[in-house]
Structure 1
Amino acid sequence: MTWKTLRRASDIPFLIVGTSLTAYIGFAAFGFIRNSSEHYSNFILGIVLMTGFLAIRNLCDERLGIPDPETGRQRPRKPLFWPRLVFAFVALAMSSVAMTYVRYNAVHLETTQPFFGRTDMIFGWLMTISILMLTLIHWGWLLTSVVSIAIAYFFFGHMIQNPLFITPKYSAEFIMNYIGLGTNQGFYYLAQVAADSIYFLIIYAAILLGVGMLDMVLELGKATGRKVPGGAAGPALIGSGIVSSIMGQAVSNVVLTGRLTVPMMVRYGYRRPMAGAIEATASTAGQIMPPILGLAAFIIAGFLNRPYIDVALSAMLPGLLYLVGVGIAIFVYAKRNELPRLTAKLDAGMIWRLLPTFVLSFGVVLWLLLGYRSPAIAGLWGIVVALGLCVFQGKYRPSLRKLYGAVSEGFLLVAILSLLLIAIGPLGQVMLTTNLSGRLGSVLVEYLPDNQLLLLLGAMVVSLILGMGLPTPVAYIIVALALVPFMQQIGVPALQAHFFVFYFAVFSTLSPPVAVSVLAAAKLANSSFLQTAGESLKIAMTTFIIPFAFVYSPELMAFPNLTWHVVPALFQVLLIQWSVSVAAYGHVFRNLARWERGAMGIAALCGFLGMTDQGDWFLASQLVLATAIVVIAFATRESGPSELQS
């Protein structure tokens, strides 16, 4: 058998299972299939089949030298090819057999839990091991290790002597029930979110890319970039921000849009590390902007028992403040370095032809979500509208081959992301069942100082550390279960507490030493990782204040029910963001001297302390310092400090 034949033999069943599962979830969305243990067992069976076939297909692509569809680059030849191929076949076979057994015995397993027989336990172990194998293939050793350690802790936690971590001694049947064999815990913990909420929204996002949304939003970015200094960053900020808000994944978005935006910025005078940093920070915006929020909005809604759309709308103002903060930093950098406006040719026809497809389909999705219809229904109708309107795009109408590729890419994305949510279920289940999260919160309250700002700074550091190198939903679940109970004990409302730790779990993708988004952007920019990470942190300093802002000013999360009380809070945040940018890049009317930048940094710090209720005189100090620097810079704009002084 040739590699092409094997690839076809894995690709065809992948597409068949994907099509069948999509039709099945569609019928379930309209109420033709009852949500039950059998229903979610069917879903997990479909996902393990798709990811198993996908693992084999990817290895065939590696052997054939077929480029990765996400990066456009040829897959590197990794060592141990034959063991990895055998591993993929074993994972596919084990997961298929185990989940088939669980599916056809779902009612029996649900009604007899946790009193499982020996055969049930054998297939429970096969299910657990095979899902971990698929997770290792698609998500790497770090996530697999975290989930495996959590499961091992469930079994052996009673042997730990430390009173903080010790657990009761549970029977193997009890543990296997909570890992997933009981069909409503563990691996099923977030499978419901994947099946009922994200499935059609992810496919809708892939369809939008297939009908040309990426090219259209990049052209929108060009249109903006022709009007402002340093406009070459416009396609990255606007294009990456919009695309990532639909995709919800920072690293994949860096690769998707950065191939086009980073070279453009370099051509227009941006230093390579800065070009990579702009793309990384702009792509990260998608994880905190509605509607997807890196999948975390659905999990937050589940934790809070609130409608998804309410949670997503709460994130609107903080998400916009993030983009504005990044934009301010880019503008100040561009003025300091006298970067030109963008002069690249603009395809206005593309914008006018493709904009209705995006606006109308997205409008339908938003209207249905605002009407509290299920995300599955909203995503499904978004797909229908986008496909219906794309035929009227004239010369920009996508070919059938391109639409086929978009559907295939949608199946790939939804399979991989659903596997992620399935795999991390036991992690959350262990922390809840053993009450580890509650005990951690009690310890933090006991040992940390009795000052809310210092406690929040401690929570920020812990969130950044726990989120390193992990996918956003995983990082969020870990920090939420570990820290939200503690934050609620110190008086932070539940919604703000969840979003606080979520934001810093997201920011961990920009923070060394791991900084996966920065690493991807540095490769595209052909620049040093540390230099790119440094520039990313300088830009991100304008956004690190946002979680503190909505904790101390909850009205920032009251969208769309806003009052005039939100205006002072917005002004405070914007003033601090501007002060931070001026201090970091040293320009206002002219390039600033070091002492002027230092004074502006002190002004930003005073603003932050005033915003966090440490005293009104801090706010007054910020206004006085910032105003003084602006007046001095304006008065001496023609005879400012020499380049050596600045």
Structure 2
Amino acid sequence: MQPETLAPTPARLGGFDYLIGAIAIGLTLFQIWHGLVAELSAPVFLPIHLSWVLVLIFLVNPILARTAPPSLYLMGRMVDFICAAVSAWLGFRLSNFDYNDLSFLFDGLGSIDLYAGSVLIVLLLEATRRTVGWVMSAIAILFLAYAMLGDVLPNDFASKGFDLQEIIRFHVFSTNGVFGAPLAIAAGVVFVFVLFGALLQVTGAGQFFIDCAFAIAGRYRGGPAKASVLASAALGSISGSAIANTVTTGALTIPMMKKLGYKPEQAAGIEAAASTGGQIMPPVMGAGAFVMAQFTGLPYAEILLVSIAPAILYFFCTLLYVHLMACKLGLKGMDNVQKLAVVVKQGWHYLLPLIMITTLLLMSYSPVLVGLAGCLAIIIATYSRRATWVPFSVILAGLREGALMILPISAACATAGLVVGVVGQTGIGLQFTQALLAWSGGYLWGAFILVSLAAIVLGMGLPVTAAYIVLSVMAVPALNEFGLPILTAHLIVFWLSQTSNVTPPIALAAFAGAGIAGASPMKSAVQAFKLAFGFFLIPLMMAYSGLLWRADDSAWQFALAIAATIGLIIAFACGIEGRLFKRLGVLPRGLLLAIVALMLIEHPLVRLGGLALLLAIIMWDKKRAVTADNS
């Protein structure tokens, strides 16, 4: 599987670097022009965007590695250029299709258009294989096969079988498949925020947030690890990719963690878990949150607001694990940590773009315009102080990186659109909902376990956004049947889908961290999965408490939900790790795990009793630790 990474470096691109750079910058300028000036219709804009993406994918990701024999490699590059040329022609053909002539709905597509649609799907699946991995393409092929052969399956799984004409017409020449909502969101909103993240990195603004994190947490026990969590919370929310965040912040934090005393696998796992958490941290929350806004029909500002408290709790969970790990290893903080006031004084102007986009998103301005305004604000902030000026070539590099970083996202979203389209065309989603209700025995906790298992399985091969899209169209209706509100169900699925970056045996963010740490990829993935267990604990509390603030909730209900979630996190982490202030025996660990169960019971007195028991255990262990230190 090829991981979703930062854009390829010039060294990887070889002699085609200038060509690819020009095409990538051209894509970025086209996106900006469309967002600010043109506002092309979807049937025109999306085929152009996708064909541009496909051209870049076939040029950047050759079919054969450079280690292949020269003659074979040259033949492979010829195939790549043919695929790129055909992709460009497909973009022209599909963007000029006459949708006003409705005859194609009654008489069928012409032979050229039928050929064009078929070739587009084949090239899209190959491009997805090259950028995301074969699993995503295989899932799409499986769903397409179901759409075509559903009439020969047993009755429990059967559907109407659709011929090639119906498949192509539905999935290419409509807004239900390839050019459906997932690609529309990736090509519109997600692109501009990925560009925003790229500009943050190349201008030095990203380094400012890392420096702030070290200034805040560096001097405390396990300082570099805690700084990694804070930096990833800030950068991951706007970088658009957990893997990109792992690579950029991990290049600094992982060596420091190793130097302080963390094992390589622990350092890689901490960075991967923290970077993955950035995808659920407002204000941007990665690509999936914008897809959620489209699927739920709710304003993005509402999703942003209800997500703040759960996101902070996730990072509290990760920080707690990091602290317990540092205590077990006997680690100390860093020396010579720069003061926060000094860091802020040097780069306070980089905070303004982030404050601006957060404010504008909360005011429900168009996300595309907000993202473009943020990109402009980053450039203005960079040139507002002489000390942070960068050459214009750096800005061009940011435009290039933004385009190359969107390639796996757009390819995955277009392919996920095929899955969503098949679900709508065949009605398999209703069958899945009925099966999930039956297998769960009618219990919400049973459905939660099944959805979690499905998320883990999907996470072994799909990037976050694609896993969320596939899981949401299948599982959200079932969760709604248990009485969960639409936003709660989507956020649960969204959180569970994040595990795709830290789930063994294919945990791409953990593998990226392992490469920097020089650690075992699988051991790093196990560490990351443990550190990211908040992705399971907090969605549980979304389902079983008022953790997601709603207008009809009282402040007391919300406060109790927050307190219960904090109690659950502390009890679970300390019970599993066997440590509070000192190592715990079997009895206190058993009590802590019992408190976890109490926090899941939706009764205020039960939860208050559990919190009181937790507080008593904490005070007892604190007194035990003080006594041991004084003796």
Establish whether TM, by shorter chain, passes 0.5.
yes
Secondary structure at 1:469's aligned position in 2? coil
Q: Which residue of 2 aligns with 1:46?
A: 52
8 Å Cα contact 2:199-2:399 kept in structure 1 = yes
8 Å Cα contact 1:26-1:380 kept in structure 2 = yes
Q: 1:155 to 1:463 in 2, by over 3 A?
A: same
Q: Structure 1: 5+ residue runs without aligned partners?
A: 64-76, 642-646
Q: CA deviation at 1:418?
A: 2.0
Alignment of 1:545-624 (within 5 A): 545-558=537-550, 563-607=555-599, 609-610=600-601, 613=602, 618-619=606-607, 622-623=610-611
8 Å Cα contact 1:329-1:542 kept in structure 2 = no
8 Å Cα contact 1:88-1:137 kept in structure 2 = no
Q: CA deviation at 1:308?
A: 2.6
Residues in 2 aligned to 1:490 and 1:231: alpha-carbon distance in whole angstroms: 43
Residues in 2 aligned to 1:528 and 1:495: alpha-carbon distance in whole angstroms: 38
Q: Which residue of 1 aligns with 2:5?
A: none
Is it true that 1:429 corresponds to 2:421 in the alignment?
A: yes
Question: Of residues 182, 187, 194 in structure 1, which corresponds to 2:186?
Answer: 194
Is it true that 1:153 corresponds to 2:146 in the alignment?
A: yes
Residues in 2 aligned to 1:144 and 1:120: alpha-carbon distance in whole angstroms: 23
Is it true that 1:276 corresponds to 2:268 in the alignment?
A: yes
Residues in 2 aligned to 1:622 and 1:36: alpha-carbon distance in whole angstroms: 53
Q: Which amino acid in structure 1 is aligned with residue 117 of structure 2?
A: G
Residues in 1 aligned to 2:533 and 2:491: alpha-carbon distance in whole angstroms: 18
Q: Which residue of 2 aligns with 1:116?
A: 109
Q: 1:237 to 1:498 in 2, by over 3 A?
A: same
Q: Which residue of 2 aligns with 1:259?
A: 251
Q: Which residue of 1 aligns with 2:289?
A: 297
Q: Which amino acid in structure 1 is aligned with residue 145 of structure 2?
A: A
Secondary structure at 2:536's aligned position in 1? coil
Residues in 2 aligned to 1:512 and 1:133: alpha-carbon distance in whole angstroms: 25
Question: Residues 25-54 of structure 1, C-alpha deviation per residue, up to 9 Å, x if partnerless?
Answer: 334334543424123322223322333333
- Worse-matched range after superposition: 138-147 or 23-32: 23-32
Q: 1:377 to 1:515 in 2, by over 3 A?
A: same
Q: Which residue of 2 aligns with 1:486?
A: 478
Question: Residues 298-356 of structure 1, C-alpha deviation per residue, up to 9 Å, x if partnerless?
Answer: 11111112223322333221111111111122223323433111225538655433231
Q: Which amino acid in structure 2 is aligned with residue 196 of structure 1?
A: G
Q: CA deviation at 1:528?
A: 3.2
Q: TM-score scaled by structure 2?
A: 0.90
Q: Which residue of 2 aligns with 1:70?
A: none
Residues in 2 aligned to 1:249 and 1:307: alpha-carbon distance in whole angstroms: 23
Is it true that 1:634 corresponds to 2:622 in the alignment?
A: yes
Residues in 2 aligned to 1:184 and 1:88: alpha-carbon distance in whole angstroms: 28
Q: CA deviation at 1:441?
A: 0.4
Q: CA deviation at 1:582?
A: 1.7
Question: Of residues 330, 349, 359 in structure 2, which corresponds to 1:356?
Answer: 349
8 Å Cα contact 1:217-1:235 kept in structure 2 = no
Q: 1:86 to 1:495 in 2, by over 3 A?
A: same
8 Å Cα contact 1:273-1:528 kept in structure 2 = yes
Q: Structure 2: 5+ residue runs without aligned partners?
A: 1-9
Is it true that 1:518 corresponds to 2:510 in the alignment?
A: yes
Secondary structure at 1:565's aligned position in 2? helix
- Worse-matched range after superposition: 31-40 or 324-333: 31-40
8 Å Cα contact 2:186-2:287 kept in structure 1 = no
8 Å Cα contact 2:498-2:535 kept in structure 1 = no
Is it true that 1:472 corresponds to 2:468 in the alignment?
A: no
Question: Of residues 243, 248, 259 in structure 1, which corresponds to 2:235?
Answer: 243
Residues in 2 aligned to 1:52 and 1:264: alpha-carbon distance in whole angstroms: 37
Q: Which amino acid in structure 2 is aligned with residue 38 of structure 1?
A: V
Alignment of 1:455-466 (within 5 A): 455-466=447-458
Q: CA deviation at 1:520?
A: 2.4
- Worse-matched range after superposition: 96-105 or 10-19: 10-19
Question: Residues 43-101 of structure 1, C-alpha deviation per residue, up to 9 Å, x if partnerless?
Answer: 22332233333335x98xx75xxxxxxxxxxxxx4787456434422321222222322
- Worse-matched range after superposition: 428-437 or 16-25: 16-25
Alignment of 1:348-427 (within 5 A): 349=342, 351-357=344-350, 359-427=351-419
Question: Residues 456-503 of structure 1, C-alpha deviation per residue, up to 9 Å, x if partnerless?
Answer: 222222222233221011111121112111111121111111111111
Q: CA deviation at 1:168?
A: 0.6
Q: 1:468 to 1:617 in 2, by over 3 A?
A: farther
Is it true that 1:37 corresponds to 2:28 in the alignment?
A: no
Q: CA deviation at 1:560?
A: 13
Q: 1:504 to 1:230 in 2, by over 3 A?
A: same
Residues in 1 aligned to 2:588 and 2:13: alpha-carbon distance in whole angstroms: 62
Residues in 2 aligned to 1:331 and 1:353: alpha-carbon distance in whole angstroms: 29
8 Å Cα contact 2:264-2:518 kept in structure 1 = yes
Q: 1:316 to 1:175 in 2, by over 3 A?
A: same
Question: Residues 184-237 of structure 1, C-alpha deviation per residue, up to 9 Å, x if partnerless?
Answer: 331101332123312211111111111112211221121122442211213211
Residues in 2 aligned to 1:427 and 1:463: alpha-carbon distance in whole angstroms: 16
Q: TM-score scaled by structure 1?
A: 0.88
Q: CA deviation at 1:514?
A: 2.4
Question: Residues 533-556 of structure 1, C-alpha deviation per residue, up to 9 Å, x if partnerless?
Answer: 343343233442111212223452
Residues in 2 aligned to 1:577 and 1:376: alpha-carbon distance in whole angstroms: 36
Q: Which amino acid in structure 1 is aligned with residue 499 of structure 2?
A: F
